[in-house]
Amino acid sequence: MPLFVLLIASLLFGISSLANSAEKTGTQTYVEGFQTFLGSSVDTGQVRAFNLTASPIEIMQDGETVTRWAYNGQLPGPILRVQKGDRVQVTLTNQLPQNTTIHWHGVRVPNAMDGVPFLTQIPVKPGKSFTYDFVPQDAGTYWFHPHVRGHEQLERGLYGTLIVEDEFEGKYDQDLVWMLDDVLTEDDGSLDEDFDFKFLDTGGRLGNIITINGENTPKFTFKAGERIRLRIVNPSNARNYRLSFANLPSAIIAVDGNLVGEPQQVEIFDIVPGNRVDIDLTIPENLEGQSVHIANTFFHREASGSALEGPQTIAKISIVGKVAKPKTFPLPVHTAVPDWTNALNEKPDFIFDFDTAFDISSLWTNKAFVSFTINNKVFGDHDITQLKNNKFYRMRFNNGTGLYHPVHIHGVFFKVLARDGVPVNEPYFRDTALLDYDGSLDIGVVPADLGEWLSHCHLLEHAALGMKSTINVTD
């Protein structure tokens, strides 16, 4: 080979490898930022064992006996509290008439503990047990629910909270969980038990009653001057919420578990199915003796018939008495949330088109004639998205359906980079984010746990009709 060809070749090679390494350096910053955010792993040496039995229960509702499904006979299910680094062992016993599993929503568990039937485990048959075993490494508010017939099993009442405690435990006057759900009932107060395809070709199952911890418009009594950590979880099949705390000072201090880099405004945050937000709520000292209504202001464009629509009161707070000394510590924040503003300069590595497909032959039958697709495929025929561990990826989700889709990816935290093409700088990570009905969502993600993980719409009727795929994280 002539010398000048070699020279040009080596020059070209040199330039292209230089370009590659520049590119790598850019995204490597995001990887390192995320690793710093997660911090080093912890092992307390403690084992925390719990039993969860899923079974039908009978409860009284408006003077009638109605049947729901529950963990340990409790509706909502128990609150499990553990320390970061504890070994958590939960034995699930299935006393339901169906198979079930438990998915630990938002918790980075070993893949085999993720609770997805036929992907990470064989489902637990009626009468059988399975023990989940994992060591949570991220403090915050998480939740658990079945991943078998989710649109039925969650609606019937199977969900609970997992709190991984952080350094702010015990600093608040009260630490409360609000499971914010909506249920669809018959006129006699019993659950509407049509879990066939009645709702599945729509915006999902919107209930006619909004409940907090199973109660319709509950009353809470707080003291003037109290500082409350309110952990809100949305286990609803399809409903989004926006909360208004009226004249009570409030701020979001955590999203989907982790603390935020800067406190967020409660009134503009869409709490979509799967999301958790921790709210720092202060009861002003001068409100003693007064009452305050907490409202849901989200307007669902699909709502019709008996589906309730905001704004409406979902809880009433009576302020009785006064604390001796109000707590004055600053709002908790995570000090290592990386800035990924420039991540939009990277090209999308993957594009996911959310759409619908129709099967005319099922029209006028009891079967759904619509399926919900990702890149024109339903779960089972889906493409597996291949990812490398500890590498940055930019993903784009496009919505061609005119319906809301809460996008949830198992096994990762991700950051929203743009919504409907407009850059946003959310100073926090999530595991679930809303793909708006006519919009798009751009996210950045650094996988940190190996295995094939489910990625799906958390509107449970859409998931049931195919809107699921997987990401496979390898070394």
The CB-of-372 to Cu ion minimum distance in angstroms stands at 6
Query: Cβ closer to Cu ion: 108 or 456?
Result: 456
Could you say whether residue 205 binds Cu ion (CB under 5 A)? no
The CB-of-354 to Cu ion minimum distance in angstroms stands at 7
Strand, helix or coil at 362?
helix
Tokens 């969860």 locate to 52
The CB-of-240 to Cu ion minimum distance in angstroms stands at 12
The CB-of-104 to Cu ion minimum distance in angstroms stands at 21
On whether the CB atoms of residues 79 and 120 are closer than 8 A, the answer is: no
Specify which residues 93 forms β-bridges with: 53, 129
What is the DSSP code (8-state) at residue 127?
A: T
What is the DSSP code (8-state) at residue 288?
A: T
The CB-of-33 to Cu ion minimum distance in angstroms stands at 30
Query: Cβ closer to Cu ion: 99 or 202?
Result: 202
In degrees rounded to 5, what are phi and psi of residue 346?
Answer: -75, 145
| Window contacting Cu ion (CB under 5 A); options: 24-32, 110-118, 165-173, 449-457 | 449-457
**How would you label 340-355 residue by residue, b for 16+ Cβ within 10 Å and e otherwise?**
beebbebeebbebebb
Query: Cβ closer to Cu ion: 259 or 459?
Result: 459
**How would you label 318-329 residue by residue, b for 16+ Cβ within 10 Å and e otherwise?**
ebeeeeeebeee
Query: Cβ closer to Cu ion: 141 or 237?
Result: 237
The CB-of-459 to Cu ion minimum distance in angstroms stands at 4
| Window contacting Cu ion (CB under 5 A); options: 136-144, 175-183, 425-433, 460-468 | 460-468
Query: Cβ closer to Cu ion: 158 or 459?
Result: 459
Query: Cβ closer to Cu ion: 319 or 465?
Result: 465
| Window contacting Cu ion (CB under 5 A); options: 67-75, 240-248, 291-299, 462-470 | 462-470
Handedness of CA 73, 74, 77, 81 (dihedral sign): negative
Among 462, 465, 471, 473, binds Cu ion (CB under 5 A): 462
The CB-of-205 to Cu ion minimum distance in angstroms stands at 12
Query: Cβ closer to Cu ion: 394 or 405?
Result: 405
Query: Cβ closer to Cu ion: 139 or 206?
Result: 206
Residue type, 254: A
Q: Which two tokens stand for residue 249?
A: 């000072």
The CB-of-405 to Cu ion minimum distance in angstroms stands at 3
Among 80, 457, 464, 473, binds Cu ion (CB under 5 A): 457
Quick one: which of 59, 185, 99 has its CA closest to 194? 185
On whether the CB atoms of residues 266 and 275 are closer than 8 A, the answer is: no
The CB-of-238 to Cu ion minimum distance in angstroms stands at 8
DSSP per-residue letters across 50-62: EEEEEEEEEEEET
Q: Which two tokens stand for residue 128?
A: 């059988």
The 393-412 contact track toward Cu ion, x by CB under 5 A, reads ------------x-------
What is the DSSP code (8-state) at residue 84?
A: T
Specify which residues 318 forms β-bridges with: 221, 291
Quick one: which of 434, 87, 385, 82 has its CA closest to 241? 434
Query: Cβ closer to Cu ion: 228 or 370?
Result: 370
Could you say whether residue 459 binds Cu ion (CB under 5 A)? yes
Residues near Cu ion (CB under 5 A)? 405, 457, 459, 462
